[in-house]
Amino acid sequence: MQSIGKQHTSRAPRLQERLRRWDQGNRQTRIRMLEEFIDMYQHATGPQLESELENGASLFLARISSWLRLSYALGHSVGLQLQAISVFIAASSGQRFLAEFVEVGGIATVIEILKLPGLSEEDKARATSLLSSVAAAGRHYKEIVCEGYGIEVLEGLMRSSKSEDQLEEARELLVTLGRGNPAFSTHVHKALLRLLKSESSVTQRLACSGLRTLLGLLPTSQLYVTDEAGNSVPVVDSSYCEAAVGLLSSFNLQLLYEANELFTVLISMEQLEESLLEELVKQLVEAADDAQPGGKQVPLHMQASAARALGQLLSGIAADKREQYTSQLQIVPWLCTLLARSQTPSPECEKAAVQALQLLSLCAGSIAKDMQTHLGPRAVRHLLDATDASQAMATMTPDMLTTIRGNIEAFLAEHRRKRRPPPMRMPGQVNELLSGADDKAAADEGGETETGAELAADPDGSTRAQPEVA
């Protein structure tokens, strides 16, 4: 006990000297002190920091936090302060330092720093890394970050940053905030869905990967929530499928790979099976209707990707559901529309359609019957016996193609007939106005004289004959 007391007494002047040097030093002095601190203690534990800083670690952390707020307000670089604070927060058994940093509004300060428009990439990386250390401390701290609009700030960062390393760091932080944080997991999902529509393929790819990770980890108990009326409402809806299928418009192979991986996760969720297949079929429907009024032009490579995805996804689900969806969504004839184009044929679309049909042909039941109906028996045998999709189309005889086109034209004619718009219904007030106009016209017609003269009212209420104008 006596030796410990002597040691504490001898260290006290050193602690005071360190703090005095900080308080009286200029910017360069403080920078040197932080550089020395980071170099010496970046891997230290909480107790080691407390011991090395002579039980004054909290005092030193408070001074760094105050200087951080002042520096960013004056527009100075804050990367070094953020890195030094991370040494405290990321330290093993250093939860006390994290609690102290939160109490002085440190998390809100870091989020505000990330909002700065002219922030350097290095400072962005340090701020994101610091928030990652905070979020890793548990659900309570994740909620604090989210309540401080951390999700929105990270979404904006992923839209604006040009550094792939920075984008990956932000994506990982979003995934951390969305995992084990039920109060804000839906907000993270929505942010990633919006990022799937970003103009940057790198941002899209990373957002797709993050969303796939979160959906794969989503507990069954969180798939549905209860609304105010007590009804069970799914957390994930068709907007996930729409955003995922939209990625097929890209030419980036890495992004297309991530999109197909996301399809695999979405199709495994019962409430999204039908929505995903509908969204993929929709691309083929709109492509076939693009010549019609209001039709949407679907890029050829997107049609091909949708066809391939349909074949892969359908061949991997249960047989009864495969039969149901194939019949309900008329998947076989819509795939055949890619083979029946005579004016604008696309080898890529044809190859994708053949590959999908070959996969579906392995499934018995109504699928095989649909193929016989829309392709014809000869074409079915030809396609199924072919080992290469491109070669199968290249060697298909003219009479086979004529049969396919005839069958598909009949199918499309029936489809368009069913899609005719319903009779236009006028609102009640418009109908009343039109009826009143018809009644007035009929009255005017009945009141005409044999000579065609019209009666006009004089100011005194009498009538006079007004000659018809030739």
pLDDT per position as a tens digit, 190-236: 999 999 999 999 999 999 999 999 998 887 666 666 667 777 777 78
pLDDT band at 170 (very low <50, low <70, confident <90, very high): very high
Beta bridge partners of 234: 224
Contact (Cβ atoms closer than 8 angstroms) between residue 355 and residue 308: yes
pLDDT at 315 over 50: yes
386-413 mean pLDDT: 86
State whether residue 53 is helix, strand or coil.
coil
Looking at per-residue pLDDT, the higher value among 355 and 431 belongs to 355
Taken as a whole, the chain contains a residue count of 470
Supply the pLDDT for residue 100: 94
Supply the pLDDT for residue 431: 56
Supply the pLDDT for residue 433: 57
Contact (Cβ atoms closer than 8 angstroms) between residue 185 and residue 174: no
Say how far apart CA 338 and CA 385 lie, in whole Å: 19
pLDDT at 105 over 90: yes
Say how far apart CA 350 and CA 341 lie, in whole Å: 9
Least confident segment among 41-45, 74-78, 185-189, 390-394 = 390-394
Looking at per-residue pLDDT, the higher value among 422 and 366 belongs to 366
pLDDT at 406 over 60: yes
Best CA proximity match to 110, nearest among 139, 92, 132: 132
Say how far apart CA 153 and CA 131 lie, in whole Å: 12
Say how far apart CA 362 and CA 245 lie, in whole Å: 25
Q: Contacts for 228-233 with beta carbons within 8 Å, 24 or more apart?
A: none
pLDDT at 109 over 80: yes
Q: How does DSSP classify residue 464?
A: E
Supply the pLDDT for residue 466: 46
pLDDT band at 103 (very low <50, low <70, confident <90, very high): very high
Looking at per-residue pLDDT, the higher value among 72 and 244 belongs to 244
Supply the pLDDT for residue 88: 94
Supply the pLDDT for residue 341: 81
Looking at per-residue pLDDT, the higher value among 460 and 351 belongs to 351
pLDDT band at 430 (very low <50, low <70, confident <90, very high): low
SS (H, E, C) 200-256: CHHHHHHHHHHHHHHHHHCCHHHCEEECCCCCEEECCCHHHHHHHHHHHHCCCHHHH
DSSP calls for 268-282: TSGGGHHHHHHHHHH
Contact (Cβ atoms closer than 8 angstroms) between residue 388 and residue 342: no
Task: Give the whole-number percent of the chain exceeding pLDDT 90.
Answer: 52
Supply the pLDDT for residue 429: 59
Say how far apart CA 454 and CA 448 lie, in whole Å: 6
61-69 mean pLDDT: 94
Supply the pLDDT for residue 394: 79
355-364 mean pLDDT: 83
With vertex at residue 394, the alpha carbon angle to CA 391 and CA 400, rounded to the nearest 5 degrees, is 115
Supply the pLDDT for residue 449: 45
Supply the pLDDT for residue 457: 45
Tell whether domain 236-417 is in CATH 1.25.10.
yes
Say how far apart CA 331 and CA 419 lie, in whole Å: 17
> In the block, which residue shows the tokens 């809100």?
108
- The alpha carbon torsion through 156, 216, 270, 220 (nearest 10 deg) reads -100
What pTM does this model have?
A: 0.80
pLDDT at 240 over 50: yes
Contact (Cβ atoms closer than 8 angstroms) between residue 134 and residue 107: yes
Supply the pLDDT for residue 253: 94
Supply the pLDDT for residue 443: 56
Say how far apart CA 174 and CA 209 lie, in whole Å: 11
Say how far apart CA 249 and CA 232 lie, in whole Å: 34
pLDDT at 451 over 50: no
Supply the pLDDT for residue 470: 36
Contact (Cβ atoms closer than 8 angstroms) between residue 161 and residue 207: no
Supply the pLDDT for residue 356: 92
pLDDT per position as a tens digit, 1-49: 333 334 444 444 577 888 899 999 899 999 999 999 999 998 899 999 9
Beta strands in 151-279 (DSSP E): 224-226, 232-234
Supply the pLDDT for residue 53: 85
| Residue ranges of domains in the chain | 236-417
- Going by C-beta distance under 8 Å and a sequence separation of 6 or more, which residues neighbour residue 60? 18, 19, 22, 37, 53
pLDDT band at 465 (very low <50, low <70, confident <90, very high): very low
Residue-averaged pLDDT of the chain? 84
Say how far apart CA 127 and CA 136 lie, in whole Å: 14
pLDDT band at 450 (very low <50, low <70, confident <90, very high): very low
Supply the pLDDT for residue 461: 46
Supply the pLDDT for residue 444: 56
Residue 172, Cβ density class (10 Å: 0-12 exposed, 13-18 middle, ≥19 buried) = middle
Residue 322, Cβ density class (10 Å: 0-12 exposed, 13-18 middle, ≥19 buried) = buried
Which residue type is seen at 169? E
Supply the pLDDT for residue 427: 56
Looking at per-residue pLDDT, the higher value among 364 and 183 belongs to 183
